[in-house]
Amino acid sequence: MAAAVKRFFDSDLWFSFTRSPVTVVSAIVAAVCILGAVFAPWIAPHNPFDLASLNLSDAFKPPAWTEEGAREYALGTDDQGRDVLSAIMYGARVSLLVGVSATVFATLLGVSLGLLAGYVGGALDSLLMRICDIQLTFPSILVALLVDGVVRAALPREVHAEIALFVVIFAIGISEWPKFARTVRGSTLVERNKEYVQAARVIGVSRARIMVSHVLPNVLGPVLVVATLNLGLAILSEATLSFLGVGVPPTQPSLGTLIRIGNDFLFSGEWWITIFPGIALIMMVLSVNLLGDWLRDALNPKLR
Amino acid sequence: MFAFIISRILQALPVLLSVALISFAMFAYVGDPVAIMLGQDYTQAQRDALVADLGLDKPFWVQFATFIGNAVQGEFGLSYRLSRPVADLIAERAPATLELAFTAAILALAVGVPMGVYTGLYRHSWLSRFFLTFSLIGVSLPTFLIGILLILVFAVSLGWLPSFGRGDTVRLGWWTTGFLTWSGVKALVLPAITLGLFQLTLIMRLVRAEMMEVLRTDYIKFARARGLPNRAVHFGHALKNTMVPVITIVGLQLGAIIAFAIVTETVFQWPGMGLLFIQSVGAADIPVMSAYLLLIALVFVTINLIVDLLYYAVDPRLRIGRGKGGH
Amino acid sequence: MRKLLMAAALAVGLGAGVSEARTVRWAASGDPNTMDPHSQNVGTVTMVLQQIYDPLIQRTQELGLAPGLATRWEQVEPNRWRFWLRSGVKFHEGQAFTADDVVFSITRAQQPTSNYGIYVDTIASSVAVEPMVVDVITRVPDPILPNKIASLFIMSRSWSEQHNATRPQNTRAREEMHTTRATNGTGAFRLQTREPDVRTVMVRNNDWWGWNEPASREANITEIVYRPISSDATRIAALLSNEVDFVLDPPLQDLNRLRAAQGIRVLEGPEVRTIFLAMDVHRDRLLYSDVTDRNPLKDLRVRQALYHAIDIQAIHRTTMRGQSVVTGTFFPPQVNGYSREEDVRLPYDQARARALLAEAGYPNGFGITLDCPNNRYINDEQICQAIVAMWARIGVRAQLNAMPLAPFFAKIQREDTSIYLLGWGVPTLDALYSFQSLVRSRDGGQGNGIWNYGRYSNPRMDQLIDIMVNQSGEARNAAIREALRIYREDVPHIPLHHQMIPWAMRSTLTIPHMANNQPYFRWARMN
């Protein structure tokens, strides 16, 4: 692993990173979003989940720099008197958690199935690719809606509320695995016929070992690109589901939930309740997408 | 060719069946249609009678078999909410969704392709960078936020365009169209932009990538070497070759457009199938929801089939056997 | 088309003060789910149907009673009401209105498929004693029968029979009924186009009998175009950008903006609907709580503590934006039987609330789940959120379980709840309707305690309610007053407020605000 890190800093990748100001900025923005979200319980000015600390008479305070704003609430407060900045930090935590978990889930599933399909081939390959084909024709948001609906229907309300977060992660993850499987399978097909794999096979290395230690490292580059680009999509999917009211439970509001709630106040002049979470969401997704774009270009030598 | 079509149709059947099962299972236990239908005052006997009449007391598989049997005949029963045949309700709303999806797709193509070509050709120009940034923002903005912001600016602040509905429509047989009246066309603008923006940026990025790939190929270099003018090289050779994947993706994205229409139609109160679906979810209107999902599955399977056939027609290698997996 | 109509109207010079076409474009969040006048007893349906159908007795602008299709009525015997009908009235499709149609309509509303049973529950039979006189025979003396009859629309017997619609439309039916989409009333407007969820168009019925009544003389609406717009933001955007003229249910948070907007007017008024929290005071062990061996809500002190902890003024000011009337009882002043002396709240007092909890044996509070609808009453979920936060401050750890109307009603009707938010409207404008449904013990008697899901039960209360059913005059009034006092002392509910229902419209439109939340376009004028 240490060798890999060293290789990373010596690589063209790092060089091209330092050369692109847009990428550096987006990396910084992404880092700020992620740190703010991860450490929200320690650095957020208020705890929006501590009900006893809420005061209805603090509701609808505009941002601090406006005339009626209070210094205590930098980005204002919402309809229940919650601090918008803290709500965003906690909300970003949920959004990131869902986005990252869903992407990790999709990656693990897609990579294993893709490796299997590419390396084993035959009937298994056709079956898996056929499932991919079918699922890719359905937009992931619809698949996520369906999966979420099925689970919602199958479980009693109380049980569902407990595991709702996992349901959303599962729904988004399951809707995106085929992209990974496709990518990995393609690369595996190429790698499988290369001489070093042939050689390993000749000296009697087991199939599983060849797959994991020879083929896998060589297909990880493209997977990283797909995963990064996918993270942005996963975060947006979660926001859309939450906006339609079927996403994460309202007790754990994500950025999408905050936007949906704030949307009711947009026309009445209390714009900060929806605009700031919206900006946070866009910044997060945009920076992740920019990083993914750069990564794709950097890893694809043809385009350089 | 014939055998290929048959095998594809046979492969599509299990898909439709599983979607039917999912859509049926999904809604069989959501909400409580009985409580909605009975209103405020009723006796247990009335409730039991209604449950029996709706067949909700039968075992799951019996209910499902009945459902499939009726669905094959296009019979989805009456909407719980509106007491009208589901098939009629969907037929009334289909034109609205299809016109919106069609306009959004045309818009995405008409704007996305030129932008993609331009950014592919002039990779480092100032305008290309602007387009790319714009496309990234387009991809990063959630559909619902775009719709809300467009309404805020163009309907409320500027008052140029309507904020909801289809405007006046003209009836042509069973089809209603908004294309033939000025108010109908105006009403189409904002929802079409909202719905098409994501596809637009997708197409732009796709065309750009394809252009860049194609421009590297030997035969383009050869064409240049032959002294052909840039114009001929770019449009005669390069663009033509990027069109196959673009058409395929757009075809496949038509499904995505119809799916995302749920969000757009909710924001703009566009009286299409997506809005019908969301309203039905709120009222636990099982017949409408199941029918909608089955219909969408049918649309997707059909689109997929057509794309497959196109590929089969275009790519001779497929006729020999699936040499190269994926595409 | 509109120009053409206008020209035609100008040329012919339509009488009754109408000289040109006036279209009012009206929007609200929901669409009626049927056009059948006896099927669904919900506001969204009646707001359209009352433009088209007439009852025997009309509501005035102050919700009093006034002649409608009946010109006069009288309780000729304790169990017999007599109605003298208006002559010369015709249905929209030309049938003449007679006593037979009234008998038919009452019978139709009594069918099991009808949702209007509560308005005809005491009626044993009805007879056409003369072509234009109807007698309604009740099983018990029913002093408030006219109040109930005022909610019953009259249909044509021959038309219903011809279209196979003699029973109210039933969602069980496998076929669509004619009355789902078509109407034939005697009212001021005729249904012209009906596209569910898209638009409903009604046009003026120039032959309506009431155009010369004082309230309608100035009315000039010739066409009503109703469009449902469920999204709050879109509905307001449509009003601001001049795409609709009238919004029945503007969201509260937009009122200030609407008031400030050019050319838009907001009419404010109370609704006959009270929002309160009801509690499970019956079970021995509370559901969804961390107290597993008893039911804290059975202890009056706990109920009082939860009551004292609510800062209702903050909810009134912030959550309701001033659009509520804070109350200490469970029906508003418009309802017969209201008493100002009994409309007193327990004051907001956190220290007192904590003391009461400690006294009851819960010095550290307890956990509980609050069930709340999220799309039924004005800002219902926000109210519940605010209350949960207020209770947190006295140590009561409440989980909020907010859900849409359909699963919410299903859940509380199973009594699968410890404490829930409910709103209660009083269409009859008489206190009995609230007492009987909400706080009467359930003993199987018709209508007794049918919405009493907390199973509150007090024998004296039951006696008083029986007096309200059977007696009239001062005895009845005294019973209502005593029952209100018991309600206040027993705290079966925590009352919150009466809803206000602002309407927003273009300033060129004049229409009387109605406490039943029904716009009557027969009284409207557009300049």
Is the residue at B98 inside a domain? yes
A250 at the C interface (CB within 8 A)? Answer: yes
- What is this structure's pTM? 0.78
Half-sphere exposure of C488 (CA within 13 A, CB side): 20
Together in a domain, B38 and B125: no
Distance of CA C463 to the CA centre of its chain: 27
Is the residue at B327 inside a domain? yes
What is the residue whose two structure tokens read 């602002």?
C502
Is the residue at B318 inside a domain? yes
Measured between beta carbons, the chain A residues lying within 8 angstroms of C396 are: none
| Band of pLDDT at residue A304, cut at 50, 70 and 90 | very low
Rounded to the nearest angstrom, the minimum Cα separation between B182 and chain A is 28
Structure tokens at A281: 């969401």
Residues B97-109 pLDDT 10s: 989 998 998 898 8
Nearest to C317 by CA among C370, C382, C270, C247: C382
- Is the distance from CB of C240 to CB of C262 less than 8 angstroms? no
pLDDT at C15: 43
Domain boundary among B242, B257, B277: B277
| DSSP H stretches of helix in C195-299 | 232-240, 255-260
Measured between beta carbons, the chain B residues lying within 8 angstroms of A292 are: none
Residues A264-303 pLDDT 10s: 787 777 888 888 998 899 889 888 888 887 887 777 654 4
Together in a domain, B175 and B287: no
| Helix B182-216 / helix B218-225 crossing angle, nearest 10 deg | 90
Is the residue at B111 inside a domain? yes
Task: Please answer yes or no on whether A136 and B301 come within 8 Å at the CB atom.
Answer: no
Dmax (CA) of chain A = 77
| DSSP H stretches of helix in C372-422 | 380-392, 405-413
Rounded to the nearest angstrom, the minimum Cα separation between C258 and chain B is 12
Cα–Cα distance, B156 to C506 (Å, whole number): 15
Under 8 Å CB-to-CB from C264, ≥6 apart: which residues?
A: C239, C240, C258, C504, C505, C506, C507
Q: Chains A and B: how many Cβ contacts under 8 Å?
A: 99
Cα–Cα distance, B284 to B291 (Å, whole number): 13
Percentage of chain A modeled with pLDDT above 90: 8
Together in a domain, B321 and B208: no
Name the CA radius of gyration of chain C, rounded: 24
Together in a domain, B32 and B98: no
Closest-approach residue (CA) in chain A for C311? A56
Structure tokens at B196: 């098409």
Task: Please answer yes or no on whether B262 and A244 come within 8 Å at the CB atom.
Answer: yes
Together in a domain, B137 and B29: no
Which of the given ranges, A92-106, B78-92, B145-159, C38-52, has the highest pLDDT on average? Answer: A92-106
pLDDT at C3: 47
Average pLDDT over residues A52-72: 82
Task: Please answer yes or no on whether A56 and C311 come within 8 Å at the CB atom.
Answer: yes
Together in a domain, B19 and B158: no
Neighbours of B149 (CB within 10 A): 15
Question: Reduced to 3 states, what is the DSSP secondary structure of residue B284?
Answer: coil
- Contact partners for chain C, using 3 or more CB pairs closer than 8 A, are A, B
Rounded to the nearest angstrom, the minimum Cα separation between A166 and chain B is 18
Rounded to the nearest angstrom, the minimum Cα separation between A278 and chain B is 8
Strand-pair partners of C274: C424, C498
Distance of CA C497 to the CA centre of its chain: 16
- Is the distance from CB of C182 to CB of C34 less than 8 angstroms? no
Closest-approach residue (CA) in chain A for C234? A267
Is the residue at B48 inside a domain? yes
pLDDT at C12: 43
DSSP C525: E
What is the residue whose two structure tokens read 């890190």?
A5
C318 at the A interface (CB within 8 A)? Answer: yes
Rounded to the nearest angstrom, the minimum Cα separation between A124 and chain C is 44
Q: Chains A and C: how many Cβ contacts under 8 Å?
A: 59
Higher pLDDT, C434 or C168: C434
Q: Is the pLDDT of residue A199 over 50?
A: yes
Nearest to B161 by CA among B169, B150, B172: B150
C257 at the A interface (CB within 8 A)? Answer: yes
- Put the strands of the sheet holding C70-77 in their side by side order: C70-77, C80-85, C133-138, C123-130
Q: Which of A275-279, A284-288, B279-283, C330-334 has the lowest mean pLDDT?
A: B279-283
Interface subset of B 266-295, CB within 8 angstroms of A: 266, 278, 293
Q: Which of A47, A56, A275 to mutate to test the interface with C (most CBs of C within 10 A)?
A: A56
Q: Which of A83, A267, A272 to mutate to test the interface with C (most CBs of C within 10 A)?
A: A267
Measured between beta carbons, the chain B residues lying within 8 angstroms of C43 are: none
Average pLDDT over residues A135-161: 68
Mean pLDDT across chain C, nearest whole number?
88
DSSP-derived pairing of the beta strands C525-526 and C509-510: antiparallel
- Residue B163 has its nearest CB partner, among C112, C173, C238, at C238
Cα–Cα distance, C395 to A52 (Å, whole number): 8
Residues C289-323 pLDDT 10s: 888 888 999 999 999 999 999 999 999 999 998 89
Task: Please answer yes or no on whether C319 and A269 come within 8 Å at the CB atom.
Answer: no
Distance of CA A190 to the CA centre of its chain: 29
Task: Please answer yes or no on whether A269 and C392 come within 8 Å at the CB atom.
Answer: no
Domain boundary among B235, B261, B277: B277
Burial of B305 (0-12, 13-18, 19+ CB in 10 A): middle
The DSSP result for B154-221, as a single string, is IIIIS--S-SSS--S-EEETTEEESTTSHHHHHHHHHHHHHHHHHHHHHHHHHHHHHHHHHHHSHHHH
- Is the distance from CB of C497 to CB of C327 less than 8 angstroms? yes
ipTM of the prediction: 0.75
Between the alpha carbon of residue A171 and those of residues A92, A176, A235, C389, the distances in Å are 19, 9, 13, 32
Average pLDDT over residues C10-19: 45
Nearest to C18 by CA among C234, C247, C220, C235: C220
C30 at the B interface (CB within 8 A)? Answer: no
DSSP-derived pairing of the beta strands C270-279 and C419-425: antiparallel
Nearest to A264 by CA among C270, C230, B27: C230
Together in a domain, B158 and B244: yes
B48 at the C interface (CB within 8 A)? Answer: no
Cα–Cα distance, C524 to C24 (Å, whole number): 9
Q: Is the pLDDT of residue B234 over 80?
A: no
Cα–Cα distance, C434 to C449 (Å, whole number): 9
A302 at the B interface (CB within 8 A)? Answer: yes
Average pLDDT over residues C97-121: 87
Closest-approach residue (CA) in chain C for B275? C197
Cα–Cα distance, B196 to B257 (Å, whole number): 8
Cα–Cα distance, B231 to B225 (Å, whole number): 14
DSSP-derived pairing of the beta strands C246-247 and C23-28: parallel
Average pLDDT over residues C265-281: 92
Higher pLDDT, A128 or C17: A128
- The phi, psi pair for B198, rounded to 5°, reads -65, -45
Interface subset of C 44-83, CB within 8 angstroms of B: none
Task: Please answer yes or no on whether A79 and C382 come within 8 Å at the CB atom.
Answer: yes
Task: Please answer yes or no on whether C402 and A250 come within 8 Å at the CB atom.
Answer: yes
Cα–Cα distance, B144 to A45 (Å, whole number): 29
Together in a domain, B268 and B319: no
Interface subset of B 77-106, CB within 8 angstroms of C: 77-78, 80-85, 89, 92
pLDDT at B295: 85
Q: Provide the CATH number for the domain around residue B98.
A: 1.10.3720.10
Task: Please answer yes or no on whether B142 and A290 come within 8 Å at the CB atom.
Answer: no
Neighbours of A14 (CB within 10 A): 13
B259 at the C interface (CB within 8 A)? Answer: no
Under 8 Å CB-to-CB from C219, ≥6 apart: which residues?
A: C17, C211, C521, C522, C523, C524, C525
Rounded to the nearest angstrom, the minimum Cα separation between A79 and chain C is 7
pLDDT at B39: 52
pLDDT at C350: 93
Between the alpha carbon of residue B19 and those of residues B60, B276, C255, the distances in Å are 16, 19, 45
Is the residue at B58 inside a domain? no
Mean pLDDT across chain A, nearest whole number?
81
pLDDT at A300: 66
pLDDT at C2: 47
Task: Please answer yes or no on whether B164 and C234 come within 8 Å at the CB atom.
Answer: yes
Which of the given ranges, A23-37, C72-86, C169-183, has the highest pLDDT on average? Answer: C72-86
Structure tokens at B204: 């732009």
Structural domain harbouring B100? 86-277
Task: Please answer yes or no on whether A268 and C254 come within 8 Å at the CB atom.
Answer: yes
Cα–Cα distance, B25 to C412 (Å, whole number): 25
Is the residue at B76 inside a domain? no
| Band of pLDDT at residue A49, cut at 50, 70 and 90 | confident
- Residue B259 has its nearest CB partner, among A130, A133, A141, at A141
pLDDT at B46: 65
Closest-approach residue (CA) in chain C for B159? C241
DSSP B153: I
| Band of pLDDT at residue B37, cut at 50, 70 and 90 | low
Closest-approach residue (CA) in chain C for B280? C197
Measured between beta carbons, the chain C residues lying within 8 angstroms of A264 are: 232-233, 251, 253
b/e C269-299 (16+ beta carbons within 10 angstroms → b): ebbbbbbbbbbbbbeeebebbebeeebbbeb
pLDDT at C274: 95
Together in a domain, B23 and B131: no
| Band of pLDDT at residue B139, cut at 50, 70 and 90 | confident
Average pLDDT over residues C419-432: 90
The DSSP result for A178-212, as a single string, is HHHHHHHHHHHHHHHTSHHHHHHHHTT--HHHIII
DSSP C119: G
- Contact partners for chain A, using 3 or more CB pairs closer than 8 A, are B, C
Domain boundary among B255, B277, B299: B277
Across chain A, where does the E strand assignment appear?
Answer: none
pLDDT at C86: 95
Nearest to A246 by CA among A150, A180, A159: A150
Together in a domain, B22 and B113: no
- Is the distance from CB of A266 to CB of A278 less than 8 angstroms? no
| Band of pLDDT at residue B323, cut at 50, 70 and 90 | very low
pLDDT at C76: 93
Interface subset of C 392-411, CB within 8 angstroms of A: 392-393, 400-403, 407
* Number of separate domains in chain B: 2
Measured between beta carbons, the chain B residues lying within 8 angstroms of A154 are: 25, 29
Q: Which of A85-89, A193-197, B281-285, C376-380 has the lowest mean pLDDT?
A: B281-285
Together in a domain, B229 and B136: yes
Together in a domain, B124 and B227: yes
- Contact partners for chain B, using 3 or more CB pairs closer than 8 A, are A, C
pLDDT at C505: 95
Question: Reduced to 3 states, what is the DSSP secondary structure of residue C401?
Answer: strand
Residues C165-208 pLDDT 10s: 888 876 555 557 888 889 999 999 999 999 888 889 999 999 99
Average pLDDT over residues C104-122: 84
B137 at the A interface (CB within 8 A)? Answer: yes
Is the residue at B254 inside a domain? yes
Structure tokens at C460: 């004296």
Task: Please answer yes or no on whether A286 and B28 come within 8 Å at the CB atom.
Answer: no
